[in-house]
């Protein structure tokens, strides 16, 4: 059964906005001669002004949205990150630059928790591509941390020079990816074409340009060096924009640390011969499926993160590795269980909710193992408490 048949039908105005966006994407495909790369499709579906998923006004985060992120689940997440940031502030300017701040929940948690630790940052800068989310972040911060909201600024562009701590939770997975199909050594780029009848879209493959083919083959050769090639077709993604973004931000980090949390794997696991259909995922009202062409603009489209590529991009820009581990281990090392134990128990229902959220954050079957934390730095000691008991840097190759 097609994903469109089992997903809830959107309200009429949302469906109309989606059709308008589909018309714009079809126009772009027509102007490009009948084919666009999947990265272009994903960029329009997520970020086209006023109509893209992140550029439109729909509710995305939380129980009545499409997905739940860690800071939406529990303030324990922000409290743990605050402990890590406070440690780094001993060696860096007390400033945070958060990318892709979503609803503003993590910013509010970080500001409140750092304040409680006596380490409130002098400046908290947010770089956010979505105008509606910038407005939501303002609302969240004024409501939850009114005394500290004045320290927050929104930057129109990536700062030229960063001093302090860079934080990005679930941002790399939201960056457009290029798709490829490998078959017996030949590489095709998987893009998007219009379906002649019905106003929809479909995947369309064509020979990859030389640079992309070389990048794909080098990536796969490395990943399959030990386990061997897959037997049939192999489809996956290359997160070029995420890699470029990490290289740029790392290059601009003059003094400080960069902490990225997201779902993904080291390269050998990401491009394992058995993972032959890639990691592209769509989220629509808490349903996860694989069809990016359903209701463009109304559903989130994501891909997992190749942490080997992330690490090389950061190290290539001159940063030092500070740690790589599962989210569960990182949060435990930042004291999540002690923080949970300290939460007031007078309202049993509320406490049970926090305990359940902690379980979601830590459980291997939920967010604990698939999600990773990775950190880099320039001019800071290699003693991050979040990576104190175990560190999987060696797995990144």
Ligand X SMILES: C[S@@+](CC[C@H](N)C(=O)[O-])C[C@H]1O[C@@H](n2cnc3c(N)ncnc32)[C@H](O)[C@@H]1O
133 near ligand X, judged by CB under 6 A: yes
- 299/172 Cα distance (integer angstroms): 17
Taking the complex as a whole, the smallest distance from the CB of residue 55 to ligand X amounts, in Å, to: 8
Rule CB under 6 A: say whether 170 interacts with ligand X: yes
Nearer to ligand X, 10 or 65 (CB): 65
Using CA atoms, how far residue 101 sits from 71, 147, 195, 210, in Å, is 10, 19, 36, 36
- For the window 64-83, what string marks contact with ligand X as x by the rule CB under 6 A? -----x-xx-----------
Angle at alpha carbon of residue 43, lines to 360 and 315, rounded to 5°:
65
Q: Considering the complex, what minimum distance in angstroms separates the CB of residue 268 from ligand X?
A: 26
Letters for 83-102 (x = contact with ligand X by CB under 6 A, - = none) are ----------------xxxx
Q: Are 273 and 229 in contact (CB under 8 A)?
A: yes
**Residue span 27-56 as binding mask against ligand X, x where in contact by CB under 6 A, dash where not:** ---------------------------x--
Q: Where are the alpha helices (DSSP H) in the chain?
A: 3-6, 12-31, 38-47, 70-73, 75-89, 105-116, 131-144, 210-223, 240-252, 267-270, 307-316, 327-333, 336-342, 348-362
Choice between 245 and 265, CB closer to ligand X: 245
Binding mask 239-268 for ligand X (x = CB under 6 A): ------x-----------------------
Cβ 108 to ligand X, closest distance in Å? 11
List 265's β-bridge partners, or say none: 306
Does position 113 bind ligand X by CB under 6 A? no
**CB-hemisphere CA count at 13 Å for 258?**
27
Strand, helix or coil for residue 228: coil
Residue with tokens 């991050």, as numbered in its chain: 384
Closest CA to 265 of 291, 288, 239, 241: 239
Exactly one of 128, 189, 262, 306 binds ligand X (CB under 6 A); that residue is 128
Say whether residue 284 binds ligand X (CB under 6 A).
no
| 171 contacts ligand X (rule: CB under 6 A) | yes
Please report, as ranges, the residues that interact with ligand X according to CB under 6 A: 54, 61, 69, 71-72, 99-102, 106, 127-130, 133, 169-171, 174-175, 245
């Amino acid at each position: 059964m097609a994903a469109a048949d089992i997903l809830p039908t959107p309200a009429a105005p949302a469906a109309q906005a989606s059709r308008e966006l589909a018309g714009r994407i079809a126009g772009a495909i027509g102007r490009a001669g009948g084919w666009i790369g999947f990265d272009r499709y994903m960029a329009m579906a997520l970020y086209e002004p006023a109509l893209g998923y992140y550029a439109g006004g729909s509710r995305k985060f939380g129980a009545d949205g499409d997905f739940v992120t860690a800071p939406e689940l529990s303030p324990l997440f922000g409290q743990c990150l605050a402990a890590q940031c406070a440690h780094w502030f001993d060696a860096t300017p007390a400033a945070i630059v958060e990318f892709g701040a979503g609803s503003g929940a993590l910013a509010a948690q970080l500001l409140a928790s750092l304040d409680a630790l006596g380490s409130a940052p002098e400046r908290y800068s947010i770089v956010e591509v979505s105008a509606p989310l910038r407005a939501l972040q303002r609302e969240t911060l004024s409501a939850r941390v009114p005394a500290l909201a004045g320290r927050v600024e929104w930057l129109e562009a990536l700062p030229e020079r960063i001093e302090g701590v860079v934080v990005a939770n679930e941002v790399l997975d939201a960056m457009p990816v290029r798709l490829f199909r490998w078959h017996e050594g030949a590489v095709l780029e998987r893009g998007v074409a219009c379906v002649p009848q019905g106003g929809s879209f479909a995947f369309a493959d064509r020979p990859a340009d030389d640079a992309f083919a070389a990048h794909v083959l080098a990536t796969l050769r490395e990943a399959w060096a030990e386990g061997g090639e897959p037997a049939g077709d192999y489809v996956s993604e290359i997160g070029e924009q995420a890699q470029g973004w990490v290289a740029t931000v790392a290059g601009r980090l003059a003094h400080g640390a960069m902490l990225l949390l997201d779902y993904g794997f080291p390269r050998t696991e990401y491009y394992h011969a058995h993972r032959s259909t890639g990691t592209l995922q769509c989220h629509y009202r808490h349903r996860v499926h694989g069809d990016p062409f359903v209701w463009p603009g109304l559903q989130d489209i994501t891909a997992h993160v190749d942490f080997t590529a992330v690490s090389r991009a950061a190290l290539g820009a001159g940063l030092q590795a500070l740690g790589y581990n599962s989210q569960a281990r990182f949060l435990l090392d930042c004291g999540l269980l002690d923080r949970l134990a300290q939460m007031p128990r007078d309202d049993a229902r509320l406490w049970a909710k926090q305990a359940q959220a902690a379980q979601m954050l830590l459980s291997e079957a939920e967010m604990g193992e698939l999600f990773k934390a990775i950190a880099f730095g320039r001019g800071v000691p290699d003693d991050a408490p979040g990576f104190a008991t175990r560190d999987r840097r060696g797995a990144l190759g």
